[in-house]
Amino acid sequence: MILTEGLRSAGAAVRLWFSPARVRAEGTTPDYRFSLANERTFLAWLRTGLALIGGGFAVDQFLPRLHQGLRVTCTVVLLVGGALCALRAVNHWVRCERAMRRGEDLPVTRFPTALALGVGVLAVAVVVLVLLGRTT
Amino acid sequence: MAGQAPPDAGPPRPAPDRDPGLQPERTRLAWRRTTLSATAVAVLAARQLLRSAAPGPVEVALTVLTGLLWIAFVALAHRRMQAMATGRPPGLSPRAALLLVGCTLALALCGAVILVRPGH
């Protein structure tokens, strides 16, 4: 029940990405400064995603003595996290833009908390792995 | 001081050709930072290829693709930065936002393919 509801709302969100005309048709155009602030937030999330992707490449390239399986796992986790951040960037941007046009409250999500916890756990894991010297 | 005019008695303000809060400027700098991040990621992705001993045609093709993705990213950002030159820039088009995110995802995918290729 919760799952189907979640899938439906995710589908609606993705449809919204591809129908910008529908977003523009709603409500009134907000102050351009608010739109620019929303754009900067979008860019900040995109940079977060890029940083995670770059971090994934860095783990693979700068920890050559780490066990290969662990290294590939860390890299893939970081690459997937970066991809999720990029998708979240555009999703949040569209939802904020729509909320501003409709004069609603801005959407709240748990994504930043989940990201912070995930990055923290991964950082601790990599530090422990490097300290233990899990070499090939 | 007797001769000083009160602070709000200046001449009538003309229509602004720039934002008094420098919002477009800050947004332009945010774009600049983002292109720098994308450049770092593209360089790391290319370095991923150069580390393999004998790059095959797939690696070369992926590197060329990475370069093209980077060019697309920077070109999109450049267009948007040019729009920031006016005092009241129009909003970001959703298509540009989607294209940028697509470039980012494709960069990650290129790196992942290079990473998991057998013989890496």
Q: Cβ separation of A72 and B34 shorter than 8 Å? A: no
Q: How many residues does chain A have?
A: 136
Q: Which of A19-23, A108-112, B63-67 has the lowest mean pLDDT?
A: A19-23
pTM tops 0.80, yes or no = yes
- Shortest Cα–Cα distance, A38 to chain B (Å): 10
- Residue with structure tokens 């890496």? B120
ipTM of the complex: 0.82
Q: Which residues of B touch A93 (CB under 8 A)?
A: 92, 97
Chain B residues contacting A, CB < 8 Å? 19, 21, 23-24, 26-27, 30-31, 33-34, 37-38, 40-41, 44-45, 47-48, 51, 88-95, 97-98, 100-101, 104-105, 107-109, 111-112, 115-116
**Residue A35 to residues A65, A86, B12, B82, Cα–Cα distance (Å):** 47, 19, 27, 17
Express each pLDDT in A43-86 by its tens digit. Answer: 999 999 999 999 999 998 888 888 888 888 889 999 999 999 99
Q: How many residues does chain B have?
A: 120
Confidence category of residue B3, pLDDT binned at 50, 70, 90: very low
Residue B1 in this model has a pLDDT that exceeds 50? no
The confidence score (pLDDT) of residue A26 equals 78
Q: Cα–Cα distance between B14 and B8 in angstroms, integer?
A: 15
Q: What is the arithmetic mean of pLDDT over B96-100?
A: 91
Express each pLDDT in A76-101 by its tens digit. Answer: 999 999 999 999 999 999 989 888 88
Scanning every residue of chain A, which has its alpha carbon at the shortest distance from the alpha carbon of B27?
A40
Nearest to B101 among A36, A40, A86 (CB): A86
Express each pLDDT in B44-78 by its tens digit. Answer: 988 887 776 667 788 888 888 999 999 999 999 99
Chain A residues contacting B, CB < 8 Å? 17-18, 20, 23, 29, 32-33, 35-37, 39-40, 42-44, 46-47, 49-51, 53-54, 56-58, 60-61, 72, 75-76, 79, 82-83, 86-87, 89-90, 93-94, 97
User: How large a percentage of chain B has pLDDT more than 70?
Assistant: 77
**Residue B79 to residues A43, A86, B31, B76, B109, Cα–Cα distance (Å):** 15, 20, 10, 5, 25
Residue pair B96/B80 in contact by the 8 Å Cβ criterion: yes
Residue pair A52/A81 in contact by the 8 Å Cβ criterion: yes
Mean pLDDT of chain B: 81
Q: Cα–Cα distance between B73 and A55 in angstroms, integer?
A: 19
Nearest to A20 among B19, B41, B95 (CB): B95
Q: Which residues of B touch A36 (CB under 8 A)?
A: 23-24, 26-27, 89
